Structure 1
Amino acid sequence: MSTTTIEREAPARGSLRPMVALLTAFGISLVGTRLSMIAVPLFVLQTTGSPTRTGLVAMAEMLPYVLAQGLSGPVTDRVGPRRMSITSDVVSVAVVGLIPVLHQAGLLHFATLLALVAVAGAVRGPGDSAKYVLAPAVAKAAGQPNERVLGLEDGISRAASVIGPLLAAVLVTAVGAATAIALDAATFAIAAVVFLVALRPSEARPAKGTDGEPGPDAGDDESYLVRLRAGARFVWSDGLLRSIVAMVAVTNLLDAALSGVLIAVWAQHRGGGAGLMGAAAAALSTGAVIGAFTAAVIGHRMPRRVAFAVGFFVIGAPRFAVLGFDVPLVVVFVVLFVGGLGCGVINPILGAVEMERIPEHMRARVMSLMTSLAWSLIPFGGLVGGLLATRLGIGPALLVCGVVYFVATTLPALRPEWARMNRSAPVVAPVLEHVPNAVSPEMADHGVTFDAPAR
């Protein structure tokens, strides 16, 4: 931990309504997202029978999502995160809702589906970023610490990863994938209504500084491009952050290949369909929930570099191996659960590293850029998974992904800059001298994660 102690005034106790509103909308929206992560691939497989087309649909959604999320920060600052979130959700209702409507009318051609999911991704990215940006303002309005609101958001995200797949398995089996997508559209509407009714505009204004005064970067004298370049220079100048982004980008690509296509093809191959997909996703997510709460309790005692490497190992090669070798399903569920435990440890460690290395006034631009870069290969994951499954078959495709995952998570961890992960107060002066208005890393108070894309 840093040797510098920052004295903070306890937040004034306020109404919990704005915090409940944010967490409710966040949770409902995330359950819908997790539901669609299973319903959409199954819908495409059922209507086209093509793993490659399934991958193309996944890419068509995620590429605009990543680009819009990474570039929307200045716009959100101008119109406000509450308005951006509501606008994104309202537009998403119409776009996502058109998919089952056109399908029912017999007018949903494949090109139309690609266009709809692309627009859905483009409007969902800014909405997701806006919901995250709202957390500090809502915490202040509710008289709660930032860490409490952000911690609850992370816990809800993990829980949604359990509830969503199970709900998808029930709905797809009972009413079909198209109806499940319609229910996903309804979650956008509910989230927008919650914000309109329960979150006042005054409660959604972001705090401009730790004491309510404008921070060192709060003025309008710097253009959008100047701020974007400053964030990029910071990430590029920090060897550890640069290496982490590169590694996570590769693993996210493979995770997207699995979740977007390979797991659906594997479930069909094993004769389980949506039910097996939901059970597998729930086993992994349950482990991740437990792992995340465990890390929250004892994470500060863990050797970061070792815990990070072990966490990535157990969620990587073993997971692909048990799926690729057609082992008994009970073994699959056990390995996925253990992999989830390791997965739950990863994000708290990443958050701690970011807290120590990124100056507070640059955190939004640097973290949004890091997240965008880490997700930059996700749009191609479904396409890669579809091509591998088509060319190699599901077993070899899974094993190839497992080998690449192992190499990608092992080689970077051997690089010398990763030793800085265990330092509690890293020296960042060589980085900060290239960035205007930089401040000490001791001012950091929260971080972001490299989780699966969520609404």
Structure 2
Amino acid sequence: MKRVPIAYLSSYVLSVLGNSIAAIALPLIVLQTTGSVLGAGAVAAATAVPAVLAGLLMGVVIDRINRRTSSVLTDLVSAAAIAALPLIDLFSELNLGWFILFGVIGSLGDVPGLTARDALLPAIVRDGGITAERLLGLRETLGAVALLLGPAAAGTLIVLFDGSTVLWITAASSLAGALTTLLIPHRVGVINPGERDAAPFTGGSWTQLREGWRVLFRSRFLLAVTTLTVASAVVLAALQGLVLPVYFTLVEQPGMLGFVLTALAAGLLVGGLVYTIAGARGRRRAWFVTGLVGTTLGFALIAPLASVWIVFGGAFVVGLSSGLFSSLIGVLMIERVPEQMRGRVLGTQNAVMTAAPPVGIMAAAVLTATVTVYVAAVVLTAVWLVALAVGVFARSLRHLDPVVEQPTGDEETVLSGA
């Protein structure tokens, strides 16, 4: 494998690892420092809205500048926001206000950083001598490894070191991701002038942003894919963030929650490996339907909350199928989102994906409080069944294999690859 895809995958893993460590360690450090459970919740709530807004608005910038540069800058923002906390702790006393301030600053780099890396994918495929299937399969696989290691690393670091040291280590991970991205040649991130100028960059930033939204919402393919990914995010977040914690508390086995999340990550790892090895073979529609049906089977196993071991099995099946599904969707997005619009289209999608989990958790909380956790699990599965119907019956998702014929110039044809 050439240097370019190795550098890209390495930076991706370092970024995911840093984020997964921060997701576990930061709330614990806030609790240790402030002694307030509400404080930890306030930090999470305060960072959610800026992250969504940054994802929506920064797509215009990502479509304007070198995409390697935008990826590096967003990682540096994340690293600086985390590193500022132990720096302040050296000279002053950390309090809730500091955590909220730098949590908001850090959130401004999170979704744009994800968008910048996604926007860079087609160039990595072109310059790296690697197929899109292999690149996306490897990315899903390595991302699953990072998700497996992150929580364990966070727990170990919290036990071994004080909060400031853990924050330094977390910031170092984001910094290492930025430095690794610099190993990608600058020319790889350059937006082709013809493609850039083909985008309607007349008018102000708001006009440019609306043009990206117009492309997203007028494409039946992109709308269907967005529906599927948002539904997956809502259901998974609600299960992980509320339904399963409540269930394991009811059966007096709260410690088992971590093992279920490990089973999910292990499934993602296997699914990514399978797609890396075999994703370029066979018809894409078959891979697509297999991923959808497998995910449905996994949710169906979890929904009754029949026993701990069945929930474990369901989590693994969901992870395995999601690994296939996510990898294929990534390949399709490389092929079908116009290059000059990638920042704006993917930025909007990632912003929606960031907002989706809190919605799912809140809905599950209302159902659990007013009815039972078992009803909440069934309703979440029903939500996914709607997404399954979209995936199976949407005309824009029936023909997924690339075609040899030249595009006709019709916008929908260009976007759908048909």
Which TM-score band (shorter chain)?
0.7 to 0.9
TM-fit CA distance, 1:379: 4.8
Letter in structure 2 aligned against 1:67: L
| Matching residue of 1:231 | 212
Question: Please, which of 186, 198, 204 is the counterpart of residue 189 of structure 2?
Answer: 204
| Matching residue of 1:429 | none
Cα distance between partner residues in 2 of 1:25 and 1:413: 33
Cα distance between partner residues in 2 of 1:262 and 1:438: 42
TM-fit CA distance, 1:287: 0.6
SS in 1 for 2:283: helix
Cα distance between partner residues in 1 of 2:249 and 2:147: 21
| Further displaced range: 66-75 or 98-107 | 98-107
Equivalent pair of 1:231/1:362 in contact (CA under 8 Å): yes
| Matching residue of 1:310 | 293
| Further displaced range: 91-100 or 172-181 | 172-181
| Matching residue of 1:195 | 181
CA pair 233-132 structure 1, distance change in 2 beyond 3 A: closer
Aligned length: 409
Cα distance between partner residues in 2 of 1:227 and 1:180: 41
Cα distance between partner residues in 2 of 1:116 and 1:217: 38
TM-fit CA distance, 1:286: 0.9
TM-fit CA distance, 1:160: 1.7
SS in 2 for 1:411: helix
CA pair 184-279 structure 1, distance change in 2 beyond 3 A: farther
Say whether 1:346 aligns with 2:287. no
Cα distance between partner residues in 2 of 1:68 and 1:27: 22
TM-fit CA distance, 1:121: 0.8
- Consecutive unaligned residues of structure 1, counting only runs of 5 or more, are 1-14, 427-431, 446-455
Cα distance between partner residues in 2 of 1:24 and 1:51: 35
Alignment of 1:29-68 (within 5 A): 29-44=15-30, 54-68=40-54
Say whether 1:424 aligns with 2:399. yes
Q: TM-score, normalised by structure 2?
A: 0.77
Say whether 1:300 aligns with 2:283. yes
| Matching residue of 2:144 | 158
Q: TM-score, normalised by structure 1?
A: 0.72
TM-fit CA distance, 1:406: 1.4
TM-fit CA distance, 1:310: 2.4
Cα distance between partner residues in 1 of 2:87 and 2:163: 13
| Matching residue of 1:449 | none
Alpha carbon RMSD of aligned pairs, Å? 4.3
Cα distance between partner residues in 1 of 2:380 and 2:153: 29
TM-fit CA distance, 1:188: 1.2
Letter in structure 1 aligned against 2:187: S
For residues 258-279 of structure 1, the C-alpha deviation after alignment (integer angstroms, 9 at most, x for no partner) is 5556767777885766xx5553
Cα distance between partner residues in 1 of 2:318 and 2:12: 25
Cα distance between partner residues in 1 of 2:227 and 2:201: 32
CA pair 268-181 structure 1, distance change in 2 beyond 3 A: farther
CA pair 187-120 structure 1, distance change in 2 beyond 3 A: same
TM-fit CA distance, 1:25: 1.5
For residues 121-143 of structure 1, the C-alpha deviation after alignment (integer angstroms, 9 at most, x for no partner) is 11222222222223333444444
Letter in structure 1 aligned against 2:191: P
Letter in structure 1 aligned against 2:378: V
SS in 2 for 1:108: coil
Alignment of 1:111-130 (within 5 A): 111-130=97-116
| Matching residue of 2:271 | 291
Letter in structure 2 aligned against 1:346: F
Cα distance between partner residues in 1 of 2:195 and 2:94: 50
